[in-house]
Structure 1
């Protein structure tokens, strides 16, 4: 399975989970939180990054589940 960052993006009919560079949405949900939960599962399995967008399309936050280029110190 290829390693793709998972994006949660707004759609007219809800919120979509979409792999980076994919032509089609993986899945569409009525609620944003449901889309985030599913995208998080996928990104954890693939050890990739979760990217959550707001209603305006801009990135709200990211969550890394893989090779973090800037891991926390400690």
Structure 2
């Protein structure tokens, strides 16, 4: 399963999760920590790469979950 990267980005005083190539947020959070934790879960499930941006918009951290795919429930 291949998935687009997930980006945690600043958004008007809040923090959003966006899929690579999308201009719209899939979810928005009050704090960066909340957004990062939610994005980690999504990236792990989808086997995606997570990009965490700083307040300046530049990527400051990257983590690949491509090998961490959760097994399908039986």
Q: Which runs of 5+ in 1 are unaligned?
A: 68-74
**Runs of at least 5 residues in structure 2 that lack an aligned partner in the other structure:** 68-74
Aligned-pair RMSD on alpha carbons? 1.6
CA distance in 2 between counterparts of 1:14 and 1:47 reads 25
Return the TM-score normalized by structure 2.
Answer: 0.83
How many residues end up aligned between the 2 structures?
67
Match of 1:60 in 2: 60
With normalisation by structure 1, the TM-score equals 0.83
What does the per-residue CA deviation read over 1:25-70, in whole Å, with 9 as the maximum and x for residues that have no partner?
A: 0100000000001111111011010000000000110011005xxx
